Structure 1
Amino acid sequence: MPESNLPAELAAKRQALRGILRRLGRVLVAYSGGVDSGLLLAEATAVLGAENALGVIARSRLMPDEEFRAAVRLAEERGFALRVMEYDEMAIGGFVANEEDRCYHCKTELLKRFSAIAREWGAKALCTGDNLDDEGDFRPGMRALEEAGTSSPLREARMTKADIRELARRLALPNWDKPSEACLASRVPYGERITAEKLRAIAEGERLLRAMGFRQRRLRCHGDIARIEIEPQDFEKLLDPATRRKIVDGLTALGFNYVAMDLAGYRTGSMNETREAKTEKA
């Protein structure tokens, strides 16, 4: 799509993004199938060719099976070069302990593995899909990106999430409006040890909610309590007696003793709220 068909500001940002990719020359893109990394890999492939743009995706417990399959299918359909890397985050002590720097420990090890692939493949840069909006939230994983020396073309081009979604829509990427899917570990409160069983229960619980039509949802795991976050406009739907019974039965079968709906509704980073409250009191 020529830049002339885009709004002026978005066209300028896309031109900047493409200039950054041309300067890098041969890139390995950390790919998850989400709209950010999907757009980055699409533009890298368009600018540099599939021979100079390789996506790498980690196959791990933190990504539900259906998300992984959708990411691989998107790459195949769009002609992206893609490599799958098996990854076991449960072997990382700092991840399992689940303190506030959990993401830092996980990302550090993940980027170490990606960097090894980048060197072996001859990439000039390892690129990640973080964008301008990522600078505002509490994200300890950003420190891992800096230490690993990764490149952030979307952020460097000053692209926001809204810019990325709009450009992806105009490029007819099927995931342009895909809900944000943070890793499953983000559903567990800091300080509560992460186990494979918890991650499995969360994944199955969110699969149940998705199958029942809740497009934007989170299942937060507080010990034996499942706290459901959905968009406020879906509250009435969830409170339908038959729907409520099916959800309660499904989640108790997964090992939860109590099922609660968060009246504040879905929002990103809700597990950071208690951390922020403690910081303010201090």
Structure 2
Amino acid sequence: MVQDKLAQLQALFREMDRALIAYSGGIDSTLMAKIARDVLGDRALAVTAVSPSLLPEDLEDAKIQAAEIGIAHRLVETREMENPNYTQNPVNRCYFCKSELYDTLKPLAQTWGYAYTVDGVNADDLRDYRPGIQAAKERGTRSPLAEVGLSKLEVRELSKFLGLACWDKPAQPCLSSRFPYSEEITVEKLRRVGQAERYLRNLGLTTLRVRSEGVTAKIELPADVIQGFVQTADLPQLVEAFQSYGFTYVTLDLEGFSSGKLNRVLSASLSV
């Protein structure tokens, strides 16, 4: 039961005594921040990395959620966009992102007196291709959710049990995940993807991606939403808006939304 795993998580934080949470505002790191605050009080600190790959509204959500939890919250700037190993977008791009993140957080944690830096990696993440996990481990970051075997579904169940309003919040990986591997990532490209996804959210859509492939925006929505979207959305207005953001073409993925779809090229290459 998730309550048993909650007890294990609480015990882990009691052993840590002081912990800095790498806090993106997503459901996983929010759960970590909540439990750390409940157990450690003011000996827990949430830190959010600010960069062009983070939507401003997601940053605001993170601030609001931290305030609701009652955990101390700080912002730091990360500079992964200055690293060509990141912007060239290789298959292990996330390794360089997390290297920058924890190379920033670890010294701060030491300076501020936090013996442990904690992330929100869950047990399901360990079964996916996540090169950033290696970078975090190399820098001594702990992953309590994974340590106690908590799955993504259990993360949501436990978050609801603890009264977190964001328990059903859709996953929102960084905007750099919207680009196919080897396509260069720029601040301008991140901006236009962010604007396009904001446009769709303003239509009332929640689970979505706008994949950027060159000058083409590919919209991904849940399969059961596609037909209603096509029938009710003002498509000419949408296309006009997306083109004003910098896209030339706008397409709709008829298969529907699937998390991690861009990683299929990795599976295909391994099977050859």
Matched, 1:270 2:261: yes
1:5 counterpart residue number = none
2:214 counterpart residue number = 223
Letter paired with 1:14: L
1:10 counterpart residue number = 2
Matched, 1:253 2:244: yes
- The DSSP-based 3-state class of the residue aligned with 2:251 is strand
The correspondence for 2:77, drawn from 83, 86, 109, is 86
- The DSSP-based 3-state class of the residue aligned with 1:126 is strand
Letter paired with 2:82: A
- The DSSP-based 3-state class of the residue aligned with 1:99 is coil
Farther-moved stretch of structure 1 (233-242 vs 139-148) = 233-242
2:35 counterpart residue number = 43
Letter paired with 1:45: R
CA contact (8 A) 1:214 1:234 kept: no
Map residues 68-83 of structure 1 onto 2, 5 A cutoff: 68-83=59-74
- Distance in 2 (CA, whole Å) between partners of 1:16 and 1:32 is 23
The correspondence for 1:207, drawn from 190, 194, 198, is 198
TM-score under structure 2 length normalisation:
0.97
Measure how far apart 1:78 and its partner are. 2.1
Long gaps (5+) in structure 1: 1-8
Measure how far apart 1:237 and its partner are. 2.5
1:115 counterpart residue number = 106
- Distance in 1 (CA, whole Å) between partners of 2:232 and 2:167 is 34
Measure how far apart 1:56 and its partner are. 0.4
1:4 counterpart residue number = none
CA RMSD in angstroms, aligned pairs only: 1.0
- Distance in 1 (CA, whole Å) between partners of 2:93 and 2:251 is 26
2:184 counterpart residue number = 193
2:91 counterpart residue number = 100
1:20 counterpart residue number = 12
Once the two structures are superposed, residues 65-103 of structure 1 have per-residue CA deviations (whole angstroms, 9 ceiling, x without a partner) of 011001001111221111110223211121111011111
CA contact (8 A) 1:238 1:244 kept: no
CA contact (8 A) 2:79 2:100 kept: no
Give aligned pairs, total.
272
Percent identity, aligned pairs only, is: 39
- The DSSP-based 3-state class of the residue aligned with 1:239 is helix
- Distance in 1 (CA, whole Å) between partners of 2:265 and 2:241 is 28
Map residues 103-182 of structure 1 onto 2, 5 A cutoff: 103-182=94-173
Measure how far apart 1:44 and its partner are. 0.6
Once the two structures are superposed, residues 136-180 of structure 1 have per-residue CA deviations (whole angstroms, 9 ceiling, x without a partner) of 111111110111111111111111111111111121111111000
Farther-moved stretch of structure 1 (80-89 vs 130-139) = 80-89
Measure how far apart 1:60 and its partner are. 1.1
Long gaps (5+) in structure 2: none
2:24 counterpart residue number = 32
- The DSSP-based 3-state class of the residue aligned with 1:240 is helix
Farther-moved stretch of structure 1 (247-256 vs 124-133) = 247-256
Farther-moved stretch of structure 1 (249-258 vs 111-120) = 249-258
Structure 1 segments (4+ residues) deviating >3 Å: none
